[in-house]
Amino acid sequence: MIEHAKTQTILNWFERICQIPRGSKNERAISDWLVAWAEEHGFAARRDSVLNVVIEVPGSPGYEGAPAVVIQGHMDMVCEKTKGSAHDFSKDPIKLVVDGDWFKADGTTLGADNGIALAMALTAATDPDLPHPPLELLFTVDEETGLTGAKFLKPGFIKGKLLLNVDSEDEGVFTVGCAGGRDTNITLPVRLEAAPRGHQAFVLAVGGFKGGHSGVDIHKQRGNAVRTLGRALSAVLEQADARIASLHGGSAHNAIPRDAEALLYLPKAKVAAVKRALTKLQSALRAEHARTDPDVKVTLKSQPKAEATPWAARSTARAVDLLLALPHGVDAYSADIEKLVETSNNLATVRTEKRALVVHTSQRSSVMDKLAFLTHRIEAIARLAGAEAETGAGYPSWQPNMESPLLARCKTLYKNLFQKDPVVEIIHAGLECGIIGARYKGMDMISFGPTIKNPHSPDERIEVRSIGLVWDFFAALLKELK
């Protein structure tokens, strides 16, 4: 039962947003809808070349001359689904499921990250009883695959100097800083060679991992399917002259891989020994991940109709060595802030493209020099394996301003509302605030939001009660910004 007066209104907008496909790089439909929504409600809207949208909402009576406040969120969502789901993110609406005091989706990511920001902004814009200054609703594209929309923001696209980012995932927590990041693509050439006589095709698969966000969940020591596949292939090579034909795993740079598989050829005489080795590995993995990924599994299934040409023995060995050598997980914790992950890497995806293995890694750090150093290490590993590495420009960290007037006001207001102090944190994840702050000098920013669990995975869910609490704070803050 939804008790808070505004929660149902917010959820109604969120459910409408969930009807529109909006995976990263597929935001045309949601961008069009937002512009049409603005026109329908009599608000001015503008859109740039990459489909970012700004909707201008006049101040309510008595607030017309107040400085504009930017309410910001991103349109896109991570598209992850369970192994057996037939959901097509390019056209199918997200199916919502009520689970007690939580909303989740049916076998897919929910998209509360960051559809809930859009829903709260639209609610604020249309609430006749909410006093507020002029608002600029800034909705960006492609945040999840590289913060692309924020990177393309041009001078003058927004005018406000106060920014409320609604993309944090714990009610009662104010985010005031974030990590920077860079992605590296590694391309390892492979030589094709006919399978030796007596070899048969099999699919080696690892799965059952929980996955999660490669920033905020990286310290939880959840298993990585791509790394585990490398470990499984190493166990196979210890038993037999195996030849890989293809590798695939992971789905996005910012999601910890949940599933990965390899098509490989094994000598018939060694299949039993390989299966014993994999059974032993599965037992070891379940013991190692008893608390984080208790359902991990390793399977080997015959693939009699496989026609792919395998790689030569040397190419197979190099590919396995590369997967074993590349880092994954926390590289360093902050020496200044207790329990804050400072630097990490996500061994994100692996795939086969023609005569090459392509591996994607995603590095994060709140210290840009250490981000560069970790990236150089990954590039060095790639070169040692005989591969080429190409690293993108990345995005900057958001350095916290603990003397921020906006932060001081938010802390006081929160305590007055709820009789407790909010948590103020820096997160090990990328937020658009870092780029926006660099684009628009002098911007005072804060990030907050309702409680969302397991973003970037099919287990994503949002706590309904927290939506009302965030709204109460949000509405009270806008009322104060006169």
Q: Which of 143, 167, 169, 432 does the annotation list as catalytic?
A: 143
Is 367 contained in some domain?
Answer: yes
Q: Can 388 be counted among the known catalytic residues?
A: no
Is 2 contained in some domain?
Answer: no
Q: Which of 27, 76, 171, 425 does the annotation list as catalytic?
A: 76
Whether residue 416 is found in the same domain as residue 313: no
Helix runs in 134-260, H state only: 148-151, 225-239
Q: Is 109 in contact with 452 (CB distance < 8 Å)?
A: no
Is 57 contained in some domain?
Answer: yes
Domain end among 339, 366, 391 = 391
Is 187 contained in some domain?
Answer: yes
What's the pLDDT at 146? 81
β-strand partners of 54: 46, 138
Closest CA to 463 of 454, 455, 453: 453
Closest CA to 67 of 439, 440, 480: 480
Whether residue 256 is found in the same domain as residue 238: yes
Q: At what angle do helices 405-418 and 464-480 cross, to 10 degrees?
A: 120
Q: Per DSSP, which regions of 223-355 are E strands?
A: 243-249, 260-267, 297-302, 329-333, 341-353
Q: What is the CA radius of gyration of the chain?
A: 24
Domain count for the chain: 2
Whether residue 325 is found in the same domain as residue 246: yes
Is 152 contained in some domain?
Answer: yes
Secondary structure class of 186 (helix, strand, coil): strand
Whether residue 125 is found in the same domain as residue 191: no
* Distance, CA of 206 to CA of 179 (rounded, Å): 30
What's the pLDDT at 98? 93
Chain-centre distance for alpha carbon 162: 25
What's the pLDDT at 354? 87
Whether residue 209 is found in the same domain as residue 104: no
CATH number of the domain at 407, please. 3.40.630.10
Is 1 contained in some domain?
Answer: no
What's the pLDDT at 307? 87
Q: Which residues contact 427 (CB under 8 A, 6 or more apart)?
A: 168, 175, 177, 178, 179, 215, 216
Whether residue 142 is found in the same domain as residue 188: no
Q: How many CA atoms lie within 13 A of 140 on its CB side?
A: 29
Cα torsion through 102, 105, 109, 114, rounded to 10 = -60
DSSP for 159-173? --SEEEE----STTE
Q: Can 143 be counted among the known catalytic residues?
A: yes
Q: How many CA atoms lie within 13 A of 234 on its CB side?
A: 14
Token couple for 429: 């994840």
Is 122 contained in some domain?
Answer: yes
Whether residue 210 is found in the same domain as residue 246: yes
Q: Is 457 in contact with 211 (CB distance < 8 Å)?
A: yes
Whether residue 273 is found in the same domain as residue 387: yes
Domain end among 349, 371, 391 = 391
Whether residue 380 is found in the same domain as residue 413: no
Closest CA to 254 of 214, 212, 211: 214
Whether residue 352 is found in the same domain as residue 408: no
CATH number of the domain at 364, please. 3.30.70.360
Produce one character per residue of 10-19: b if its CB has 16 or more CB atoms within 10 Å, e if not.
bbebbebbbe
Whether residue 137 is found in the same domain as residue 44: yes
What's the pLDDT at 457? 87
Is 297 contained in some domain?
Answer: yes
Indicate yes or no: pTM above 0.85.
no
Whether residue 380 is found in the same domain as residue 454: no
Domain ranges, residue 233: 182-391
The one-digit pLDDT tens for each residue of the chain (482 residues) are 577 889 999 999 999 999 999 999 999 999 999 999 999 999 999 999 999 999 999 999 999 999 999 999 999 999 999 988 999 999 999 999 999 999 999 999 999 999 999 999 999 999 999 999 999 999 999 999 889 999 999 999 999 999 999 999 999 999 999 999 999 999 999 999 999 999 999 999 999 999 998 998 999 999 999 999 999 999 999 999 999 999 999 988 889 999 999 999 999 999 999 999 999 999 999 999 999 999 999 999 999 988 899 999 999 999 999 999 999 999 999 988 888 999 999 999 999 998 999 999 999 999 999 999 999 999 999 999 999 999 998 899 998 999 999 999 999 999 999 999 999 999 998 899 999 999 999 999 999 999 999 988 899 999 999 999 999 999 999 999 98
What's the pLDDT at 1? 55
Domain end among 368, 391, 414 = 391
